[in-house]
Chain A
Amino acid sequence: MIDFGNPVHLIAFVVMAIGLFFDIVGCLGLVRLPDVYNRLQAGTKCVTLGTFLILLGVLIRFGFDAMGVKALLCLWFIAMTSPTAAHAIARAAHKAGFPLWKGSVVDRYAGSKEDPKGVAS
Chain B
Amino acid sequence: MNKVLSAFVFNLLVWLAVTWTFDPVSLAIGAVLAAAIAFALRNVELEEVPLLLMPHRLLWALLYIPVLFLYVVRANLDVAWRVLHPALPIRPGIVKARTTLKSPGARVLLANSITLTPGTLSVDVVDDTFYVHRIHVPEDDPDGDMERSMGRFESYLRRIFE
Question: Which residues of A line the B interface, CB within 8 A?
Answer: 21-22, 25, 28-29, 32-35, 37-38, 40-42, 44-46, 48-49, 65-66, 69-70, 72-73, 79-80, 82-84, 86-87, 90-91, 94, 100-101, 103-110, 112, 114-115
Contacts and interface: CB of A to CB of B under 8 A. Distances in A.
The 10 A-B residue pairs with the shortest CB-CB distance, nearest first, are A83-B115, A66-B20, A106-B93, A108-B96, A29-B83, A45-B118, A109-B131, A83-B112, A25-B80, A105-B93
A48 B112 CA distance: 12
Contacts of A45: 72, 76, 79, 115-118
B70 to A, nearest CB: 12
A65 B20 contact: yes
B111 A37 contact: no
Contact of B121 (A70, A90, A108): A90
A29 B121 CA distance: 15
Contact of B122 (A70, A87, A103): A87
A48 B17 CA distance: 22
A65 B20 CA distance: 7
A42 B96 contact: no
Interface residues of B, number: 40
Task: Output the residue of B17, B79, B84, B95 with the most chain A CB within 10 A.
Answer: B79
